[in-house]
Amino acid sequence: MTNERWIKAAPWLWSIGLFVVWEAAVHIFEFPVYILPAPSDIWGAIVKYWSPIWKNSLQTMFTTLLGFLLAVVGGLALGLAIGWSRAIYAGLYPLMIGFNSVPKVAVVPILVIWFGIGTVPAVITAFLIAFFPIVVNVATGLATIEPEMEDVLRALGAKKMDIMLKVGIPRSMPYFFGSLKVAITLAFVGSVISETVAANSGIGHMMLSAQSQFNVPLVWAGLFALAVLGIVMYAIMAWLEMRMTGWAHRSGNRP
């Protein structure tokens, strides 16, 4: 095999290698299943509990995506506002820093008081945790317009709106799409946290119930389901980013 093909195969080889070592370690050291189940035990649990895992995965996916979409809309709007006006920036930035420094799990009890246990707190937690990186990135894109570019356009009589539409917003798009990768991962964290603390469904809730029944392989199966969901959502965002702002990822081998 050429070097190139080794590199292509590497992700698969390493992943398979990890599971093989894991499986072997469990058998050699004879870990009890409630400490560390072998991958084969976890696979067994996935097959056995496929129906609840699938149902709860859909629920988690749904809350994550809904929270994420709200974060995209809210983050984009706020980011543009902050990038637009220095007064809005000066006023809102400290507030946002303060807000962002509150761990979002601490907000869940308040959300439960307001909305009760269930889907709504999970969606809102996902939103709260995901929107900050979007705001910061969009605002950064707007704030880093080259002054020469601005001068060239202003000297032509361009209004602020023109500069935003022609330069600022297209310019901030790579930042925006880049932040989506971070935001979707965070939204996922938010919804699972909330499900674990206060929900009747979702992977987080399923793992908590499995734990209380000492069904350790199912807890791990939940973890795997989360990993798969996370990777899929991240990959979709990465694809979207390349698709929308390919010009920012220029390299020699692009057609």
Partner 1 sequence: MTGFVELRDVRLTYGGKADGTLALDGLSMSVKKGEFAAVVGPSGCGKSTLMKLATGLINPQSGTVEVANKEVSGPVSIAGMAFQNPSMLPWRTTLENVMLPLEIVQPHRSRLKSEKKAYIEKAESLLELVGLKGFGDKFPWQLSGGMQQRANLCRALVHDPALLMLDEPFGALDAFTREELWQVMRDLHGEKQFTVVLVTHDLREAVYLADRVFVMSARPGKMINERHVEFARPRPIDLTYEAAFNDIVHELRGQIADARAAA
The minimum distance between CB 79 and partner 1, in angstroms, equals: 18
**Among candidates 149, 12, 129, 155, which has minimal Cα distance to 67?**
129
Candidates 2-10, 28-36, 121-129, 165-173 — which segment interacts with partner 1 by CB under 8 A? 165-173
- Is residue 93 within 8 A of residue 82, CB to CB? The reply is yes
Q: Say whether residue 114 binds partner 1 (CB under 8 A).
A: no
Residue type, 170: P
The minimum distance between CB 168 and partner 1, in angstroms, equals: 11
Residues 6 or more apart in contact with residue 206 via CB below 8 angstroms? 52, 53, 56, 218, 222
The minimum distance between CB 180 and partner 1, in angstroms, equals: 18
Q: Say whether residue 214 binds partner 1 (CB under 8 A).
A: no
Residues binding partner 1: number (CB under 8 A): 21
- Interface of this chain with partner 1, residues 135 to 164, rule: CB under 8 A: 146, 148-149, 151-158, 162
Residue 24 vs 152, nearer CB to partner 1:
152
| Tokens describing residue 203 | 């992977």
Q: Say whether residue 250 binds partner 1 (CB under 8 A).
A: yes
The minimum distance between CB 240 and partner 1, in angstroms, equals: 16
> 92-107 burial, b for 16+ CB within 10 Å, e for fewer?
beeebeeebeeebeeb
Q: Say whether residue 248 binds partner 1 (CB under 8 A).
A: yes
**Among candidates 191, 215, 236, 211, which has minimal Cα distance to 56?**
191
Euclidean distance between CA atoms 20 and 25, whole angstroms: 8
Residues 6 or more apart in contact with residue 151 via CB below 8 angstroms? none
- DSSP secondary structure letters along 49-61: THHHHHHHHHHHH
Residue 140 vs 211, nearer CB to partner 1:
140
- Is residue 50 within 8 A of residue 232, CB to CB? The reply is no
Euclidean distance between CA atoms 219 and 210, whole angstroms: 6
The minimum distance between CB 166 and partner 1, in angstroms, equals: 7
Residue 65 vs 244, nearer CB to partner 1:
244
Q: Say whether residue 166 binds partner 1 (CB under 8 A).
A: yes
Residue 8 vs 151, nearer CB to partner 1:
151
Residue 36 vs 244, nearer CB to partner 1:
244
Euclidean distance between CA atoms 30 and 33, whole angstroms: 9
- Interface of this chain with partner 1, residues 167 to 186, rule: CB under 8 A: 167, 170-171, 173
Residues that bind partner 1 (CB under 8 A): 146, 148-149, 151-158, 162, 166-167, 170-171, 173, 245, 247-248, 250
